[in-house]
Amino acid sequence: MHQTRARQALTIARPHPRDAAAEGFAEIEAFTALLADLTEEEWGRPTTSAGWTVHDMVAHVVGQHVESARPWTIPGKIKQARRRFAGRSTLDAHNALQIAEHGTRTPDELRGLLERFGPKAVRVRLRAPGFLRRRSVARMFPEESLPDSSFAYLFDVLSTRDTWLHRLEIARATDRPFVTGDHDRGVVTQVVRDLAEEWSGPPITLEFGGGRWELGEGEPVAVVRADPLDYLWHLSGREGSPALDIEGDPAVAGAVLDARVVF
């Protein structure tokens, strides 16, 4: 049977703020559910983020949401981070400050803060006025290269994506199942959109997670299939190469594995 041609990934639309908020609420719920019954030993396990334990990672996520729920505090936090952790990029310094501020809290305290401030952070992002959504984040994090430097991209795409990836890191560090729902599909689709923005390899069709997308211009020279979690993990720069099932030109494997996406 003839299969219809896949959708061009560059045509994937950015989520509407209401849809982005729905994904944000769902991700907070999934993240807190994962933390609900972690043991003391699991909280102390190392993650793939260098030097971070599960406890450190949760402290970072909590810090992100506490600040997002109270955005007027963020400029001061960034200045403090630059002073306290001089020599690091602004993003790395900011992350380190979040861990310093919340890393001594107990697991119960961290869970409570996330349950309290996570939904508030999503609502604040949803209510952000248009003039702010159009502004650039480059002044806050000048060292970072983003496919879209607007606050809209940070609010609607990166905020949930960051939490999503850290949930995957914690699940793998603790050998817990990574439970997926409808909102995970939105996260994956936006990663594919960003992958298409930077794609410099030959035209291919990418298949995973129930979706089919074309990357590059022209007739695809191969169909590439991969486990979505393994491939997004790889795109983020984490260790490990995903297994690829390639139908067509095997040389496309190099471009598929060389690609990276901001998380």
Mean of pLDDT over the chain: 96
- Residue 2 in any domain: the answer is no
Whether residues 136 and 21 share a domain: the answer is: yes
User: By CB neighbour count within 10 A (0-12 exposed, 13-18 middle, 19+ buried), where does 91 fall?
Assistant: middle
pLDDT-above-90 percentage for the chain: 94
Whether residues 29 and 154 share a domain: the answer is: yes
Domain span holding position 78: 15-181
52-84 confidence digits (pLDDT tens): 999 999 999 999 999 999 999 999 999 999 999
Whether residues 21 and 88 share a domain: the answer is: yes
- Which of 152, 181, 210 terminates a domain? The answer is 181
Identify the CATH number of the domain in which residue 79 sits. Answer: 1.20.120.450
pTM of the model: 0.95
- Residue 7 in any domain: the answer is no
- Which of 163, 181, 199 terminates a domain? The answer is 181
Whether residues 84 and 119 share a domain: the answer is: yes
Query: What is the rounded average pLDDT of the residues 96-108?
Result: 97
**In 3D, which of 232, 169, 141, 164 has the Cα closest to residue 25?**
164
Distance CA 226, CA 243 (A): 6
Tally of helices (H runs) and strands (E runs) in the chain: 12, 5
Distance CA 40, CA 170 (A): 14
Whether residues 191 and 166 share a domain: the answer is: no
Identify the CATH number of the domain in which residue 203 sits. Answer: 3.30.1050
3-53 confidence digits (pLDDT tens): 678 999 999 999 999 999 999 999 999 999 999 999 999 999 999 987 899
Quote the number of domains for the chain.
2
